Amino acid sequence: MSKKRRQYSPQFKSKVAIEAVQGVKTVPELSSQHNVHPTLLNQWKRQLLENASHLFDAAQ
């Protein structure tokens, strides 16, 4: 039997990634708190930082 993969909403991903960027808690602490693998959390954090500038491109 195979497990069904969990899917996270964009709102959840952004919330957790912002918490990781703020640095109040470490990635391992956040991953255990939100039940997300640390590697996945680091990917979300990297995506947030890489794509943050695109938010302001559309405003022009």
Question: Tens of pLDDT along 10-42?
Answer: 999 999 999 999 999 999 999 999 999 999 999
pLDDT range class, residue 59, cuts 50, 70, 90: low
Per-residue model confidence (pLDDT) at position 60: 57
* Residue 3 in domain: no
* Residue 1 in domain: no
Predicted TM-score of the model (pTM): 0.83
In the predicted model, what is the mean pLDDT of residues 42-59? 88
Q: Give the domain range for residue 29.
A: 10-57
Exposed e or buried b per residue across 18-36, where buried means at least 16 C-beta atoms within 10 angstroms of its C-beta: ebbeeeeeebeebbeeeeb
* Residue 47 in domain: yes
Q: 16, 41 in Cβ contact below 8 A?
A: yes
* Residue 2 in domain: no
* Residue 32 in domain: yes
Query: Domain tally for the chain?
Result: 1
Per-residue model confidence (pLDDT) at position 32: 97
User: End-to-end distance of the chain based on CA atoms, in angstroms?
Assistant: 51
